[in-house]
C-alpha cells in the first residue's frame, strides 16, 4: 500500500483491467486503498493473476467477466459486478466510486481495408460498450464519484493506418465532455486520459526494434510510455485532489509531437 491511501474505502471498476494499461491502473488504485473490480473479456488467467498481484501487495480486488461488443454486454457486466461485489466484499456498501473505461481493441488498417464487420466490431467494443456501461452504471455511481475514459493521442493527429480506431476514441472524447456537464450537479467528474505510444501487448509491432526506436523518438523523453506512467495519471484524476478538474482531455503521451 502507498502512504497516501487516497482511495481508501472506495470501490473502483476497471474495464479491461487484467492486462496492459488496465492492469497497471487496477494495481495502482488498489495500492492507494480502493477495492478494485478487475474486468476481463476473455483472459481469465490474466485477471486472476492481476487479482493475486494486488492481494500480494496488500490490496483488495476481485475479477468480473463480461465479453464486450456483444448484445447486452453492459447488463452482463453490471450483473457480474453486483454479484461479485456482494460475494467478495459483503461488508462493502453496494455501488461504485471510480469507473475507468479502459477496455478496447485496435484496428490497424487504412480505410480501403476496413470491412463493415471490422468497423462494427471496433465501434461496438470501443464506443458502444462504454456508452451503455456508463448509462447503466450511473445509478450505481455515488455522488462525488469519478469517471475516467481512456482515449488515445490518435484523436489529435492524423494516423490513416488506424482511422477507424481513432474515430472510436474521438467519440469517447465527446462522451467525456457531455457527461462532465450533465453530472456536475452530483459532483461527479468525468475526464479523458489519452496515452501515446505505450508498451503493451495490444501493439505487437513494438517487438520490432526499428519500430520501437521510431515511436520512441516521437516522445520528448525519447522512450515509449509504460503502463505505470498512464496509471499514475489515472490515479490522480480519480482522487479528491482532482475535484476541480472535469471535462478535460489529459495528454499522457510523454510530450509526443512537442517538436513538430
Closest to 152 (Cα-Cα) out of 162, 140, 139, 138:
162
Strands 96-101 and 11-14: parallel
Domain residues of the chain, as ranges? 11-252
Q: Give the pLDDT score at 3.
A: 45
Catalytic residue among 40, 119, 159, 165: 165
In sequence order, what are the beta bridge partners of 198?
225
What CATH class does 11-252 carry? Answer: alpha beta
User: What pLDDT, on the 0 to 100 scale, is given for residue 204?
Assistant: 67
Mean pLDDT of the chain: 95
Residue ranges of the chain with per-residue pLDDT less than 50: 1-3
Give the pLDDT confidence of 198-221 residue by residue, as tens digits. 998 766 677 788 888 988 998 999
Parallel, antiparallel, or unpaired: how do β-strands 60-65 and 35-40 relate? parallel
Active-site residue flag, 165: yes
- H helices present in 93-216, as ranges: 116-123, 129-137, 163-183, 209-216
Q: Say which DSSP state 128 is in.
A: I
pTM beyond cutoff 0.85 = yes
Amino acid at each position: 500500500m502507498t502512504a497516501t491511501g487516497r482511495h481508501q474505502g472506495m470501490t473502483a471498476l476497471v474495464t479491461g483491467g487484467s492486462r496492459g494499461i488496465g492492469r497497471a491502473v487496477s494495481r495502482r488504485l488498489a495500492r492507494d486503498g480502493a477495492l478494485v473490480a478487475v474486468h476481463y473479456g476473455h483472459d481469465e488467467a490474466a485477471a486472476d493473476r492481476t487479482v493475486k498481484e494486488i492481494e500480494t501487495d496488500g490490496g483488495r480486488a476481485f475479477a468480473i467477466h463480461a465479453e464486450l461488443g456483444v448484445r447486452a454486454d453492459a447488463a452482463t457486466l453490471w450483473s457480474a459486478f453486483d454479484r461479485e461485489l456482494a460475494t467478495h466484499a459483503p461488508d462493502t456498501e453496494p455501488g461504485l466510486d471510480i469507473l475507468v473505461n479502459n477496455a478496447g481493441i485496435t484496428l490497424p488498417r487504412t480505410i480501403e481495408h476496413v470491412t463493415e464487420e471490422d468497423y462494427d466490431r471496433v465501434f461496438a467494443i470501443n464506443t458502444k460498450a462504454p456508452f451503455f456501461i456508463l448509462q447503466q452504471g450511473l445509478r450505481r455511481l455515488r455522488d462525488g464519484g469519478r469517471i475516467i475514459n481512456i482515449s488515445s493521442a490518435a484523436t489529435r493527429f492524423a494516423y490513416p493506418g488506424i482511422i477507424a480506431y481513432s474515430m472510436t476514441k474521438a467519440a469517447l472524447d465527446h462522451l467525456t465532455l457531455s457527461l462532465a456537464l450533465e453530472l456536475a450537479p452530483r459532483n461527479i467528474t468525468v475526464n479523458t486520459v489519452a496515452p501515446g505510444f505505450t508498451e503493451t501487448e495490444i501493439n505487437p509491432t513494438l517487438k520490432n526494434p526499428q519500430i520501437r526506436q521510431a515511436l520512441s523518438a516521437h516522445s520528448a523523453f525519447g522512450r515509449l510510455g509504460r503502463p505505470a506512467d498512464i496509471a499514475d495519471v489515472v490515479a490522480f484524476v480519480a482522487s479528491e485532489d482532482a475535484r476541480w478538474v472535469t471535462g478535460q482531455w489529459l495528454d499522457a503521451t510523454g510530450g509526443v509531437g512537442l517538436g513538430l
